Amino acid sequence: MNTTIQEMAEKLRLYDNYAIVYHIRPDGDCIGSAYALALALKSIGKTCAVLGSDPVPMAYRYMTDAVSQDNLRNLVYISVDAMSPQRLGIYAERPYTFCIDHHRNNSIDAAYKYVEEDCGACSEIILKLIRAMEIPVTPQMANFLYMALVMDTRCFQTYDTSAQSFETAAALARLGADVYGIGRRHAFIKSEARFKLEEFLQKSLHFSCGGKLITGIILLKDLETAGIADSEIEGINSYVEQYADMKIGVTVRELPDGRSRCSTRTSGNLSANDICAVHGGGGHFHAAVCELPDPPERARIIMEETCRQFLKEEEPSVSCSSESASYNSPLRRAGCRCPDIH
Ligand SMILES: [Mn+2]
């Protein structure tokens, strides 16, 4: 049952000891949202710990290390930015009293649930909640919330970016968020290792259906060679979206157990959520994910087949047979067709 922000604010005042749980493979939004909420609750005398199956990525430690974790007793669980129990990893089975999220089809069972589907970032909701509780927002909270907003809206460029996203940004700027520093650090500069990994990904790309379908692969050995951890490559799945003709882009990432995680991006009227749902996944309209039991090359073939069907449905005129040539760079399209390059 979805409650109102006001009701959530009232209920959050009732308990004393909170465990705020973020999702597996944490990103900026879940980290920023969880820590900002923790700081807010601590500021009114609650004890709080932020928990997650996976550790906080290195990129965010400079912010999170400054927040003390309280000792936990008689815990009341809050899930933040997680759409399903599976996304909570080792904390999936805990009894959740609160659930705050912005994904479609949220399936977490909680006594008090507030899900604002397709809002730009979960941190937009957290700011509303902190304000509804009449807790003063400190610059530290504002920094967490702004970082979350910048990361989940990809700097205000995603489909879900709305007037509320900009209003949240403006409010956080007034509340003391380091807009320049956070934007630059998290959304502009890149490490040498990141550049290297993007080069590997670029070389792995398959273009088909006239460049409308693009798939790429990131292998574990690519990460190792580039010298970057899997937890530090947030946003890499949007790389394929930068190609102007892309209607569907899939980034297949090899998982340690040999399976593949297929992050899917779409543009226009095509739903990434629907494409991933075919394989038991989901997410947002233009960004979703599914996991296949197959190794990456095989997973790519399966995803390409699924995507072709969606593309054909959307655009019956598109020439998109499974034999259509792939080439690894649009620059080569004019003269050289290199289907055997991969
Ligand atoms: Mn999010």
Q: Measured in angstroms, how far is the CA atom of residue 56 from the centroid of ligand 1?
A: 15
Residues 294 and 240 in one domain: yes
317-338 pLDDT, tens digit per residue, is: 888 865 544 544 433 333 322 2
Q: How far is the CA of 83 from the centre of ligand 1 (A)?
A: 9
Distance 233 CA to ligand 1 centre (A): 16
182: CA distance to ligand 1 center in Å?
A: 17
Going from the Cα of 121 to the center of ligand 1, the distance in angstroms, rounded, reads 5
74 CA → ligand 1 middle, Å: 28
Side chain identity, residue 339: P
18: which strand partners? 48, 76
- Structure token digits, residue 283: 């997410």
In a shared domain, residues 98 and 17:
yes
Structural domain of residue 80, as residue ranges? Answer: 5-187
CA–centroid distance, residue 81 to ligand 1 (Å): 5
* pLDDT value at residue 322: 59
The pLDDT tens digits for 216-263 are 999 999 999 999 999 999 999 999 999 999 999 999 999 999 999 999
Residue from 273, 276, 298, 297 nearest 286 by CA: 273
Residue 42 has pLDDT above 70, yes or no: yes
Domain boundary among 187, 205, 234: 187
Cα 120 to ligand 1 centre (Å): 8
Report how far residue 142's alpha carbon sits from residue 339's, in angstroms, rounded to the nearest whole number. Answer: 50
Is residue 158 assigned to a domain?
A: yes
- Choose one of 135, 155, 187: the last residue of a domain: 187
Residues 13 and 130 reside in one and the same domain: yes
The structure's pTM equals 0.88
Query: Which of 289, 308, 327 is closest to 206 using CA atoms?
Result: 327
Amino acid at 179: V
Q: In the numeric block, which tokens belong to residue 56?
A: 């906080």
Same domain, 134 and 263: no
Q: 334 C-alpha vs ligand 1 centroid, how far in Å? A: 40
Nearest residue to 273 via CA among 262, 265, 284, 263? 284
CATH number of the domain bearing residue 202: 3.10.310.30
Tell me whether residue 326 is in a domain. yes
Give the span between the Cα atoms of 127 and 215, in whole angstroms.
36
Verify that 50 and 168 share a domain, yes or no: yes
Rounded Cα distance between 135 and 10, Å, is 12
For position 51, which CATH number holds?
3.90.1640.10
Same domain, 179 and 243: no
pLDDT at 325: 46
Span from the CA of 168 to the centroid of ligand 1 (angstroms): 15
Q: d(Cα 115, Cα 65) in Å, to the nearest integer?
A: 28
* CA–centroid distance, residue 60 to ligand 1 (Å): 15
Q: If you average pLDDT over every residue of the chain, what do you get?
A: 92
Long-range pairs of 174-180 with CB within 8 A, sequence gap ≥ 24: 175/137, 175/138, 175/139, 175/141, 175/142, 176/138, 176/139, 176/142, 176/143, 177/139, 177/142, 177/143, 177/145, 177/146, 178/139, 178/143, 178/146, 179/146
Amino acid 105: pLDDT: 84
Residue 51 forms beta bridges with which residues?
21
Backbone angles phi, psi at 295, to 5 degrees: -70, 160
Average the pLDDT over 43-58 and give the result. 97
Among 187, 208, 235, which residue terminates a domain?
187
| Ligand 1 mean position, distance from CA 118 (Å) | 9
Q: Are residues 235 and 311 in the same domain?
A: yes
Q: How confident is the model over 268-295, as a mean pLDDT?
A: 94
Which of 39, 38, 48 is CA-nearest to residue 16? 48
Ligand 1 centroid from CA 52, angstroms: 15
Ligand 1 centroid – CA 8 distance (Å):
19
Q: What is the dihedral of CA 97, 135, 6, 164, to 10 degrees?
A: -110
Note whether residue 303 is domain-resident: yes
pLDDT tens digits for range 4-32: 999 999 999 999 999 999 999 999 999 99
Domains: count for the chain? 2
Residue 284's pLDDT band, with cuts at 50, 70 and 90, is confident
Residue 316 reports pLDDT greater than 50:
yes
Please indicate, yes or no, if residue 339 is contained in any of the structural domains: no
Length of the chain, please? 342
In a domain, 28, yes or no: yes
Query: Does some domain include residue 244?
Result: yes
How far, in Å, is the centroid of ligand 1 from the Cα of 40? 19
| Ligand 1 centroid to residue 321 C-alpha, Å | 35
CA of 155 to the centre of ligand 1 (A): 13
* Residue 68 pLDDT > 50: yes
User: What is the per-residue pLDDT for 72?
Assistant: 77
pLDDT score recorded for residue 335: 30
How close is the Cα of 202 to the center of ligand 1, in Å? 26
Residue 165 inside a domain? The answer is yes
pLDDT in tens, 150-161: 999 999 999 899
The answer to whether position 142 is within a domain reads yes
